[in-house]
Structure 1
Amino acid sequence: MNLRSRTALLGTGVVVLFAVTVLLGSYTVTIPDFFRILTAHLTGGEKIPGASFIVMENKLPRAVLAILIGVAFGLSGGLFQTMLRNPLASPDVIGISYGASAAAVLAIVVFGASGAAVSAAALAGAIGVALVIYAISRGGSGSGGGSGGRRGNAAGNRLILAGVGVAAALGAVVNFLMTRADIRTASEALIWLNGSLNSANWERVGVLMASLAVLVPALALLAVPLRMLELGDDAAAGLGIRVNAVRFGLVITAVALAAMATAAAGPVAFVAFLAGPIARRVVGRPSLPASAFTGALIVLAADYFAYNVAPLVLAGTVLPVGVITGALGAPFLLWLLVTSNRKEA
């Protein structure tokens, strides 16, 4: 199978899992009833009591938001990893998610914010921290010699190290704020920190969809310069690419994708980190569309487990989706590393 076929297979998997999420679970909906409900909602026709509310106000917006969040995180992680040529380069690792978390917890604990105000604070925090990390990583980038590839790798390594340091500091800030909060506020902040789709609604879907409608075309325009940057800075510059401007545009786009996804549902752990490597294993090379589909698959599968399977085991407790991705992401990453080492041996 070629790259397109394998990417299409991932896309088909997203469609199938989306259908499973909407139609099956704790409340089952038949395919004819689903289309009746959807048609009635769009045309203002007769609704099915109970079922219309469950599908249109709970299951469908939750599933759509899961796909959009997975696509945003998958694109963001894949973009960072491709641009910096380092699998550790993802919003989870380099501090962007921590920036969003620190700003959101500050808004909840200190200012008593909720809803859209928390999302706006998370967005501002992610962008602000990203700009700080980028500024730190650019320090000293003009010194020294060597090839453009070595300079590009050094800049990428500085960005990752700066991000790890900033993430550690922001993690301490979050822990301090949690110790100063009362039980109710701390519980609200903790749910947000774990990443949750329990508050999914059409308003959040609309905001994230509008954001992706702007960011995905911008990313498409930067796709060709990104491929040139993979050849090294000197080679890209020789082909007419403005290296620093393109890299800054790529960073801003990747940060905006991660920030909007985090603002919608919190820092869902490991999605951005794992989507790129898993997609690469499936299609055989770095691919942003494959990363997007893989991110959507991860979030959909994790949310289905958290919303429908975990309550059967935990006496009705619905887990945040971030708990599932965090619990399963680390072992899976270790498995990827082990199998990769075996292939290289």
Structure 2
Amino acid sequence: MIPGTTRRLADLGSVTLECFEAGEGPLIVLLHGFPELAFSWRHQVAPLVAAGWRVFVPNQRGYGASSAPAEVEAYDLEALAGDVAALIRQAGDGPAVVIGHDWGAPVAWHTARRYPGLVRAVGALSVPHAARAPRPPLELMRAAAGPDHVYYIDYFQQPGLAEAEMEADVRAFLLGFFWSISGDAPREERFRPIPRGGRFIDAITVPSKLPPWLSEADLQVYVDAFSATGFRGGLNWYRNVNRNWQRSADLASDVIPQPAFFVTGGRDPARNPPAIERLPSLLPDLRVFEILPGCGHWTQQERPAEVNDLLLRFLATL
């Protein structure tokens, strides 16, 4: 799926992950988000290998040919970070650098906190590390949405609802979602609030042509994968937001001491400006911190050259 990589199925005990690997040297693990795949990191592998890194890019649980447990609880951050820790241990190369995008970002941050001895440095695209919420996240989301709208994560809580919408036309959903939160979409075609009683699928716009960073062949990789698996596994990640909050209460501090990296887009709706402003207090060794003007949510796909330069700059400091 990713040129220049070797595909293998990594047996981690409770689950098997489809993993794409390349290169020799110190280990870096790249974690994708929703609705993406390991393929979303296709532009980063060759530059990292050329710089002397051993690159692991898994399809996380629920995606591609990786295991997709039936239970919603199987997709909480404890399980997902446990998968990353198991991959690092299996590699046998000592602590790794872990970088995540979108949902891969909280997995990366959580792995660094839960398994500090296995993570030598950590970073994320789009989603910053944030301090623990004062109340269960769904309560805060519902309050912020108000009486007339439904926050999209809240909308995803009912199993089967969003799946049916997305799977009715996989290509249209993927293209519309990729477009509507990209940096290319004009204001009138950006992701819209979901009115109470409305549908998630109506909050996106399917464009008449593909954005310049996504070819028809690229899109087809995603379409083929999600046509085979559906979206249940990825959506189950969202159904654990309160569980993640509950199960992380034992972590003594929000501070992550490892060398850190954060890059987001200036038009990324997930960038969370208040959390970004607080990042230096939570990441005391924040070595690369950039906001890419005009870039949307799909950071490493929209701006691969810039992301690669920043990532290599960060890795050179380790």
Structure-2-length-normalised TM-score: 0.26
Over alpha carbons, which structure has the higher Rg? 1
Larger RCO, structure (CA 8 Å, separation 6 or more): 1
Structure-1-length-normalised TM-score: 0.24
Query: Which one has a larger percent helix, Structure 1 or Structure 2?
Result: 1
Query: Which one has a larger percent strand, Structure 1 or Structure 2?
Result: 2
